[in-house]
Amino acid sequence: MRSGDTTVTGAELARLLGDRLVLITQNVDDLHERGGSRAVLHMHGELLKARCVECGDVVSCERDMTLSDACGACAGRMRPHIVWFEEVPFYLDEEIPRALQAEVFLSIGTSGSVYPAAGMVVEAKRHGAVTIEANLEPSGNARWFDHQVLGPAGTTLPELVAEIVGA
Ligand SMILES: [Zn+2]
Protein backbone atom coordinates (compact mmCIF):
# COMPACT_ATOMS: atom_id res chain seq x y z
CA MET A 1 0.00 0.00 0.00
CA ARG A 2 1.21 3.49 -0.70
CA SER A 3 1.38 5.53 2.47
CA GLY A 4 -0.41 8.40 0.75
CA ASP A 5 -3.56 6.29 0.53
CA THR A 6 -3.36 5.50 4.23
CA THR A 7 -2.91 9.15 5.10
CA VAL A 8 -5.92 10.31 3.13
CA THR A 9 -8.12 7.65 4.68
CA GLY A 10 -6.68 8.25 8.15
CA ALA A 11 -7.51 11.93 7.81
CA GLU A 12 -11.00 11.12 6.60
CA LEU A 13 -11.54 8.79 9.56
CA ALA A 14 -10.17 11.48 11.88
CA ARG A 15 -12.60 14.04 10.48
CA LEU A 16 -15.55 11.70 10.81
CA LEU A 17 -14.72 10.04 14.13
CA GLY A 18 -12.93 12.87 15.93
CA ASP A 19 -11.52 11.85 19.30
CA ARG A 20 -12.91 8.32 18.91
CA LEU A 21 -10.13 7.47 16.43
CA VAL A 22 -6.65 6.40 17.56
CA LEU A 23 -4.21 5.78 14.75
CA ILE A 24 -1.29 3.49 15.61
CA THR A 25 1.55 3.56 13.10
CA GLN A 26 5.04 2.17 12.68
CA ASN A 27 5.83 5.00 10.26
CA VAL A 28 8.30 7.58 11.56
CA ASP A 29 7.38 10.33 9.09
CA ASP A 30 4.66 12.94 9.64
CA LEU A 31 2.42 12.05 6.68
CA HIS A 32 -0.54 11.14 8.90
CA GLU A 33 -0.38 14.51 10.67
CA ARG A 34 0.07 16.37 7.37
CA GLY A 35 -3.03 14.55 6.14
CA GLY A 36 -5.03 15.88 9.10
CA SER A 37 -4.83 13.04 11.63
CA ARG A 38 -4.47 14.13 15.26
CA ALA A 39 -4.35 11.19 17.68
CA VAL A 40 -1.39 9.37 16.10
CA LEU A 41 0.71 6.96 18.17
CA HIS A 42 4.10 6.61 16.47
CA MET A 43 5.23 3.41 18.13
CA HIS A 44 8.63 3.59 16.43
CA GLY A 45 9.13 7.29 17.12
CA GLU A 46 9.15 10.38 14.95
CA LEU A 47 11.86 11.43 12.54
CA LEU A 48 11.23 15.15 13.02
CA LYS A 49 11.66 15.12 16.79
CA ALA A 50 14.57 14.80 19.22
CA ARG A 51 14.55 13.33 22.73
CA CYS A 52 16.71 14.00 25.78
CA VAL A 53 18.54 10.89 26.96
CA GLU A 54 18.50 12.24 30.54
CA CYS A 55 14.98 13.56 31.20
CA GLY A 56 13.08 12.21 28.19
CA ASP A 57 11.88 15.63 27.00
CA VAL A 58 10.76 15.47 23.35
CA VAL A 59 11.07 18.51 21.09
CA SER A 60 10.54 19.32 17.43
CA CYS A 61 13.76 18.97 15.40
CA GLU A 62 13.58 19.45 11.65
CA ARG A 63 17.31 19.90 11.06
CA ASP A 64 20.38 17.67 11.20
CA MET A 65 21.36 16.91 14.80
CA THR A 66 24.88 17.33 16.16
CA LEU A 67 26.70 15.88 19.18
CA SER A 68 26.54 19.30 20.83
CA ASP A 69 22.73 19.43 20.82
CA ALA A 70 21.62 19.89 24.43
CA CYS A 71 18.25 19.58 26.15
CA GLY A 72 16.55 22.90 26.86
CA ALA A 73 15.11 21.50 30.08
CA CYS A 74 18.13 19.80 31.72
CA ALA A 75 21.11 20.33 29.35
CA GLY A 76 21.30 16.55 28.76
CA ARG A 77 22.37 15.00 25.45
CA MET A 78 19.78 14.81 22.67
CA ARG A 79 19.14 11.91 20.30
CA PRO A 80 16.71 11.29 17.44
CA HIS A 81 13.23 10.39 18.73
CA ILE A 82 13.41 7.06 16.92
CA VAL A 83 13.16 3.49 18.24
CA TRP A 84 16.37 1.79 17.17
CA PHE A 85 16.77 -1.93 16.60
CA GLU A 86 16.32 -3.88 19.87
CA GLU A 87 14.79 -0.87 21.69
CA VAL A 88 11.24 -1.15 23.06
CA PRO A 89 8.55 0.59 20.96
CA PHE A 90 6.62 3.50 22.51
CA TYR A 91 3.08 3.45 23.99
CA LEU A 92 3.01 -0.28 24.82
CA ASP A 93 2.29 0.28 28.53
CA GLU A 94 -0.79 2.51 28.44
CA GLU A 95 -1.92 4.20 25.23
CA ILE A 96 -1.91 1.20 22.88
CA PRO A 97 -3.57 -1.20 25.38
CA ARG A 98 -6.26 1.46 25.95
CA ALA A 99 -6.74 1.91 22.19
CA LEU A 100 -7.08 -1.85 21.75
CA GLN A 101 -10.31 -1.74 23.78
CA ALA A 102 -11.96 -0.21 20.71
CA GLU A 103 -15.23 -1.31 19.12
CA VAL A 104 -13.56 -1.62 15.72
CA PHE A 105 -9.94 -2.59 15.04
CA LEU A 106 -8.83 -1.83 11.50
CA SER A 107 -5.44 -3.00 10.23
CA ILE A 108 -4.33 -1.36 7.00
CA GLY A 109 -1.44 -2.40 4.81
CA THR A 110 0.64 -4.49 7.19
CA SER A 111 2.32 -7.85 6.78
CA GLY A 112 0.98 -9.09 10.10
CA SER A 113 4.29 -10.75 10.80
CA VAL A 114 6.24 -8.19 12.85
CA TYR A 115 5.57 -8.10 16.58
CA PRO A 116 4.39 -6.40 18.72
CA ALA A 117 2.18 -4.79 16.06
CA ALA A 118 1.12 -8.15 14.64
CA GLY A 119 -0.32 -9.18 18.03
CA MET A 120 -2.58 -6.15 18.42
CA VAL A 121 -5.46 -7.78 16.56
CA VAL A 122 -5.49 -10.63 19.09
CA GLU A 123 -5.71 -8.18 21.99
CA ALA A 124 -8.44 -6.12 20.29
CA LYS A 125 -10.43 -9.27 19.57
CA ARG A 126 -10.05 -10.38 23.21
CA HIS A 127 -11.75 -7.10 24.20
CA GLY A 128 -14.61 -7.76 21.78
CA ALA A 129 -13.67 -5.57 18.84
CA VAL A 130 -14.85 -6.21 15.33
CA THR A 131 -11.56 -6.79 13.49
CA ILE A 132 -11.03 -5.83 9.88
CA GLU A 133 -7.99 -6.24 7.68
CA ALA A 134 -7.47 -4.11 4.56
CA ASN A 135 -4.57 -5.34 2.48
CA LEU A 136 -3.51 -6.22 -1.02
CA GLU A 137 -3.35 -9.85 0.10
CA PRO A 138 -4.12 -11.72 3.36
CA SER A 139 -1.57 -11.00 6.10
CA GLY A 140 0.38 -13.48 8.21
CA ASN A 141 -2.22 -13.20 11.00
CA ALA A 142 -5.30 -13.15 8.74
CA ARG A 143 -7.10 -15.81 10.82
CA TRP A 144 -7.67 -13.27 13.63
CA PHE A 145 -9.71 -10.91 11.47
CA ASP A 146 -13.51 -11.08 11.25
CA HIS A 147 -13.49 -9.40 7.85
CA GLN A 148 -10.98 -8.98 5.06
CA VAL A 149 -11.02 -6.31 2.42
CA LEU A 150 -8.52 -7.22 -0.26
CA GLY A 151 -7.40 -4.94 -3.06
CA PRO A 152 -5.74 -1.60 -3.76
CA ALA A 153 -6.22 0.76 -0.81
CA GLY A 154 -7.18 3.66 -3.03
CA THR A 155 -10.23 1.68 -4.14
CA THR A 156 -11.19 -0.31 -1.05
CA LEU A 157 -10.60 2.12 1.82
CA PRO A 158 -13.06 4.90 0.92
CA GLU A 159 -15.87 2.31 0.78
CA LEU A 160 -14.70 0.70 4.02
CA VAL A 161 -14.55 4.06 5.81
CA ALA A 162 -18.08 4.84 4.67
CA GLU A 163 -19.29 1.47 6.00
CA ILE A 164 -17.57 1.90 9.37
CA VAL A 165 -18.84 5.42 9.90
CA GLY A 166 -22.33 4.51 8.72
CA ALA A 167 -22.51 1.43 10.96
ZN1 LIG B 1 16.55 16.82 29.37
59 shares a domain with 127: no
132 shares a domain with 54: no
Q: What's the CA-to-centroid distance between 55 and ligand 1, angstroms? A: 4
Note if 81 is an active site residue. no
109 shares a domain with 33: yes
147 shares a domain with 75: no
Predicted structure pTM score: 0.85
Q: Where are the extended beta strands (E) located within the chain?
A: 23-25, 40-42, 45-52, 58-60, 78-82, 104-108, 130-135, 147-150
105 shares a domain with 34: yes
Which range of residues forms the domain containing residue 77?
45-82
Q: What's the CA-to-centroid distance between 58 and ligand 1, angstroms? A: 8
Query: Which residues, 6 or more positions from 132, have their beta carbon under 8 angstroms from its beta carbon?
Result: 104, 105, 106, 107, 145, 146, 147, 148, 149, 160, 164
Q: What's the CA-to-centroid distance between 21 and ligand 1, angstroms? A: 31
Q: Residue 31: pLDDT above 50?
A: yes
51 shares a domain with 25: no
Q: Give the rounded percent of residues in the chain with a pLDDT score beyond 90.
A: 63
The active-site residue out of 42, 44, 81, 147 is 44
128 shares a domain with 156: yes
Q: Give the rounded percent of residues in the chain with a pLDDT score beyond 70.
A: 93
CATH number at residue 124: 3.40.50.1220
Number of domains in the chain: 2
94 shares a domain with 77: no
104 shares a domain with 34: yes
Q: What's the CA-to-centroid distance between 74 and ligand 1, angstroms? A: 4
* Average confidence (pLDDT) over 39-67: 96
